[in-house]
Amino acid sequence: MNFVVLLLFKLQRCIPVFLDEEIVHQYYNGYCNNILWPLFHYLGLPQEDRLATTRSFQSQFAAYEKANQMFADVVNEHYEEGDVVWCHDYHLMFLPKCLKKYNSNMKVGWFLHTPFPSSEIHRTLPSRSELLHSVLAADLVGFHTYDYARHFVSACTRILGLEGTPDGVEYQGKLTRVAAFPIGIDSERFIRALDLPPVQDHVKDLQERFKGRKVMLGVDRLDMIKGIPQKLLAFEKFLEENVYWRDKVVLLQIAVPTRTDVPEYQKLTSQVHEIVGRINGRFGTLTAVPIHHLDRSLDFHALCALYAVTDVALVTSLRDGMNLVSYEFVACQEKKKGVLILSEFAGAAQSLGAGAILVNPWNITEVADAIGKALNMPSAEREKRHKHNFLHVKSHTAQEWAATFVSELNDTVIEAQLRTRQ
Ligand code: ADQ
């Protein structure tokens, strides 16, 4: 069986890159999701896999290089002079170097959707230097936040001994520009959707169903970085300590299963189910339960309706590059002006921090207190906080993010081109 990865190319066209099953296993499940993903989120490697992973590291890294080379071959085949190439995420850190080998005049950008960790974390990676060298071959390197950009520059200076400047890193006689490009959402799409009849029907259903109770909401991929068990424990603590609220609040946790063939993720699913079962057993009644947990994705209209009826959104990621759920919630709250509880370890904390209640998701007492504060918050304060966040979400959109990155990439001057012109 072949596994198909779709490469978004030249705006609308998608061109498949076919990777065989073994490469997918070693590259995608192995190097990308078992090594880079947890490392970049400060989670280390899965304990019991650590030795096995160390042993198989070389073959996984070789598969990573091979897969990136396969992407480079396809890009190169379709490249036309004047195109700019934007590589996305930790799966494709090797791509800039492969592309520049084909054509040093090609304008290449690379953007990371996850955090880039402290250089002290990155330096533990056996292939730390190879990845940095490859990314530095790009002309423009982007991150969600200034902190991630700073960590990347520190890794280049400390691990590779290169010179960092306020604009990037001096690399092989040129400057590789490094900057923060915080992503946003298509806020108008969410705002407009709230007026659509199917969304309003969902809203009415939800309001009827949860009448007399405050609605709290979590929407996450079922991934360890999202801090779902920690969120549930905090909610349990809140219910333990606040008898008054027990039958007056409901937590709707929507968790999309992801990477379901990886044992760590299977364990996480069981753990979450067990905690939900325990809390519902402890605090539920014959007619109502405190947590509704769904292991699935929702369609866009249902998601917008849920955001719109929510009183308190809980985003408790242990680490998150940005976290778009927090943006989507804010976009749908013009009427209700609900409260966002947001992990200080999500990139979004840097943009929505002034309007949200920021928490350390590892501290369940702090999160339980934040739930109490959010549920009891006076409307004037809710309005003030919401206004701050809504203005930000409306004015920092996905469209603006993409246009800014591409325009800056277009504006970079490639040394090789300069030399040709002279
Ligand atoms: P993700 O880790 O996937 O993205 P996030 O930014 O929150 O995290 O985006 C998730 C998207 O999936 C949102 O648009 C949300 O609406 C949707 N979604 C989540 N659960 C859903 C459900 N149950 N049903 C329907 N839709 C659901 C990675 C990084 C983030 C970074 C983004 C963008 O991990 O930190 O913000 O890329 O760069």
- pLDDT at 132 (0 to 100): 98
Q: Where are the alpha helices (DSSP H) in 14-118?
A: 21-23, 37-40, 50-78, 95-102
Report how far residue 216's alpha carbon sits from residue 298's, in angstroms, rounded to the nearest whole number.
17
What amino acid positions are annotated as catalytic residues?
113, 320
In short, whether 320's Cβ falls inside 6 Å of ligand 1 is yes
What is the 90 CA–ligand 1 centroid distance (Å)? 16
Token reading at 124? 């533990």
Protein residue whose Cα sits closest to atom 4 of ligand 1: 323
pTM: 0.94
E strand intervals along 268-338? 291-294, 312-315
What is the 296 CA–ligand 1 centroid distance (Å)? 13
In this model, does residue 394 exceed pLDDT 50?
Answer: yes
What is the 221 CA–ligand 1 centroid distance (Å)? 7
Q: ∠246-247-249 over CA atoms, to 5°? A: 80
Burial label for 368, CB within 10 Å (0-12, 13-18, 19+), is: buried
In short, whether 114's Cβ falls inside 6 Å of ligand 1 is yes
Report how far residue 106's alpha carbon sits from residue 352's, in angstroms, rounded to the nearest whole number.
36
Identify which of 231, 114, 278, 108 has the alpha carbon closest to the alpha carbon of residue 183: 114
- Interval 54-108: pLDDT, tens: 778 899 999 999 999 999 999 999 999 999 999 999 999 999 999 999 999 999 9
- Interval 155-210: pLDDT, tens: 999 999 999 999 999 999 999 999 999 999 999 999 999 999 999 999 999 999 99
What ipTM did this prediction achieve? 0.96
- Interval 21-59: pLDDT, tens: 999 999 998 999 989 999 999 998 766 666 767 778 899
- Interval 111-170: pLDDT, tens: 999 999 999 999 999 999 999 999 999 999 999 999 999 999 999 999 999 999 999 999
In short, whether 318's Cβ falls inside 6 Å of ligand 1 is no
- pLDDT at 273 (0 to 100): 97
> What are the backbone dihedrals phi and psi of residue 298, each rounded to the nearest 5 degrees, phi first?
-115, 155
- pLDDT at 48 (0 to 100): 60
- pLDDT at 57 (0 to 100): 86
In short, whether 141's Cβ falls inside 6 Å of ligand 1 is no
Taking residue 415's Cβ as centre, other Cβ atoms within 10 Å add up to 14
Q: Which atom of ligand 1 is nearest to the CA of 185?
A: 14
What is the 328 CA–ligand 1 centroid distance (Å)? 10
List the beta bridge partners of residue 17.
Answer: 5
Token reading at 121? 């974390």
Question: Residue 5's pLDDT band (boundaries 50, 70, 90)?
Answer: very low
Protein residue whose Cα sits closest to atom 37 of ligand 1: 113
